[in-house]
Structure 1
Amino acid sequence: MSSNFFVRHSFQCSLFIAFIVLFSLQWCAFAADFPNPVTKCHFGDEKCMIEQATKLLKKAATGIPEKNIPSLEPWKVAKIETLGDKSKALNVDLVMSNVEFYNYTKASVSGIKGFTKDLSKPMKIVTRNINPHMTIKAHYKINGNILVLPVIGEGEMTMVLDNVKSRFTTTIKAQERNGKHYMSVDNIKIESSVDRVTTEMTNLFNGDKTLSESILEVMNENWRVLSDELTPRINAALAHSLEELLTNFFIDIPYEDYFLTE
């Protein structure tokens, strides 16, 4: 189940996961034609940026075709994969495919900091968001040991995450082209916490009900301990995917057009 918790970050994750960074960094990047009801803010107006980022995240639930943003309900990720470590309590190979994050767009942005007018050095944009309830569904394949107990199976997995808090630290650099500055992503770090994760997995131990119920109970009771080992790897994979997405998104948006003129 731990694995699930992290998987969800891996998305939390989700992506985990993940897209609030895109919106909080880019809500203002739509320049003169923001999708309704989103509007631009003055530079340094964090309250306004938080409000607009939250609006854009909600709008993304149905997608924004004019900005090439697909529907995020659910937010889909092709694959999340982790390998076991024999020296750890969680020693499993886990592959999650056709991963779907539900209620991701129900998150609210709680903070955006780091934008600067000095483009001679990299900017570190720190974004925070809170999601009261998120569900992750995926096809899974697992093999290994959890707290010395063997676990094996392949089937469907559902993870329910309560009160997911995420912090995204995105380092971006400016590149000058034709008198304008365009942003590129240098690095993304994702950190997540959750109050509770509950996991269900079908067809563990080839459908053995007794063994399945026993291992799921262990996983759910020990999710926090196991999460400490899985979260960094899952978040790293998510950050890599998000970095590619943001790089493509920034490519033709001049930083000079991000904010209202003063």
Structure 2
Amino acid sequence: MGLNTIYESNQKQVLLILSAVLSIQSCVFAFEFPEPITRCHFADEKCMIEQAHKLFEKAATGVPERDIPALEPMKLDKIEMLGDKNSALKIDLIMNDVEIHNYTKARVISIKGFSKNLSKPMKLVSQNINPRITIKSKYKINGNILVLPIRGEGELTMVLDNVKTRFSTTLKVEKRDGKHFLSGDTIKLETQMDNVHIDMTNLFNGDKTLSESMLQVMNENWRLLSDDLTPIINKALGNKVKELLQKFFKDIPYEDYFLTD
């Protein structure tokens, strides 16, 4: 065998080794949290809350390595509420092209539920407070509020003040290739707020007098609308959050979530 042949053979071996090393590194790096998010010691709630704030900040502009689009604003396709004909709120409301602004500005106050016992599902519960959330959408409405008829089609803006959210999810544990992975099983959002201000363009085909009177009634009785609409919005948000969590944690083993003690 000539020297050139030996040299070429050695080159190929080196390239193969380098390729293997890079492949291994890619797999390892796939398990890393996006910067600046870092791991915490197990049950270090203060650290987890700090990382949750970093995650919100990161998610606001998107996490492309996890296929997560920018969440500022968070976009939902459609929200639909069919009014209870036996209640004071008898309206059918359809919201399209929904945008939720400032959702990522929440201040997390509690995260609990991560467990070392991986033999059963975990229940993760977190709580946060958001000083103001704005919801914008196209809308179509028809029905009655109290005894007053309402109809219109245009732009809707809802401003929610001091929103307190309790987020609970049951996480299933799946084992793959000797590692444990979490996936969202059920997700529930519960919210309370101090006030909701509602504005709608083109109510009653743009009749200013009727529009202003109806908006005054709606804003004075905001809780009436909020009590029926909030659970529907929360359900849509829960589905969105579940989808995002699946993308974020799909290839990060639970063993890599925390620093070793």
Tell me, yes or no, whether TM beats 0.5.
Answer: yes
- Tell me the distance in 1 between the aligned counterparts of 2:90 and 2:258: 48
User: Equivalent residues in 2 for 1:171-210 (5 A)?
Assistant: 171-210=170-209
Structure 2 distance, partners of 1:203, 1:176, is 54
Aligned-pair distance for 1:233? 3.0
Q: Give unpaired runs (5+ residues) of structure 2.
A: 1-28
- The alpha-carbon deviation at position 39 of structure 1 amounts to 1.4
Q: 2: CA distance between counterparts of 1:242 and 1:71?
A: 13
Are 2:258 and 1:227 equivalent residues in the alignment?
no
Matches within 5 A, 1:38-53: 38-53=37-52
Contact 1:31 1:258 in 2 (8 A): no
Take 1:218 and 1:184, find their aligned partners in 2: how far apart are those partners? 44
Q: TM-score, normalization: structure 1?
A: 0.83
In structure 1, the residue matched to 2:21 is: none
User: After superposition, where does 1:37-116 map in structure 2 within 5 Å?
Assistant: 37-116=36-115
How far apart, CA to CA, are the structure 2 residues paired with 1:240 and 1:106? Answer: 20
Check the 8 A contact 1:31/1:259 in 2, yes or no: no
- Select between 212-221 and 34-43 the one with higher mean Cα deviation: 34-43
Q: Which amino acid aligns with 2:99?
A: E
CA change 1:238–1:253 in 2 (3 A) is same
SS at match of 1:101: strand
- SS of the equivalent of 1:230 reads helix
Give a deviation string over 1:151-185, Cα, whole Å, max 9, x none. 11110011111111100010111011221111122
Counterpart residue identity of residue 222, structure 1: N
Q: Tell me the distance in 1 between the aligned counterparts of 2:30 and 2:145.
A: 50
Between stretches 68-77 and 135-144, larger displacement belongs to 68-77
Partners of 2:134 and 2:158 within 8 A in 1: yes
Matched-pair contact (CA < 8 Å) for 2:90–2:144 = yes
Task: Go from structure 1 to structure 2 and tell me whether the alpha carbon gap of 1:242 and 1:132 turns closer, same or farther (over 3 Å shift).
Answer: same
Q: Is the 8 A contact 1:77 1:98 kept in 2?
A: yes
Aligned equivalents of 1:36, 1:249: Cα separation in 2: 13
Q: Is the 8 A contact 1:89 1:226 kept in 2?
A: no
- Per-residue Cα deviation, 1:88-139 (whole angstroms, up to 9, x for no partner): 2212111111111112221111110000011111111001111111211110
Greater RCO (Cα-Cα under 8 Å, separation 6 or more): 1
State the 1:248 CA deviation.
4.2
Identical amino acids, percent of aligned pairs: 68
Alpha-carbon offset, residue 198 of structure 1: 0.6
Q: How many residues align?
A: 233
Contact 2:91 2:142 in 1 (8 A): yes
Aligned position for 2:259: 260
* Structure with larger Rg: 2
| Residue aligning to 1:156 | 155
Q: Is the 8 A contact 2:30 2:251 kept in 1?
A: no
| Deviation of 1:245 (Å) | 3.5
Residue identity opposite 1:185 in structure 2: G
The answer for the alignment partner of 1:246 in structure 2 is: 245
Q: Is the 8 A contact 1:123 1:171 kept in 2?
A: yes
Q: Relative to structure 1, is the Cα distance of residues 239 and 160 closer, same or farther in structure 2, using a 3 angstrom cutoff?
A: same
User: In structure 2, what residue type is equivalent to 1:90?
Assistant: L
Which one-letter code corresponds to 2:110 in the other structure?
G
Corresponding residue SS for 1:49: helix
Q: Which amino acid aligns with 2:57?
A: K
Report the Cα distance in structure 2 between the residues aligned to 1:136 and 1:54, rounded to whole angstroms.
Answer: 21
Aligned residue for 2:71, secondary structure, equals coil
Preserved CA contact (<8 Å) 2:66 2:248: no
TM-score, length basis structure 2: 0.84
> Are the aligned partners of 2:120 and 2:172 in contact in 1 as well (CA < 8 Å)?
yes
Q: Secondary structure at the match of 1:99?
A: strand
For residue 40 of structure 2, give the secondary structure of its aligned residue in structure 1: coil
Matches of 2:210 and 2:228, distance apart in 1: 24
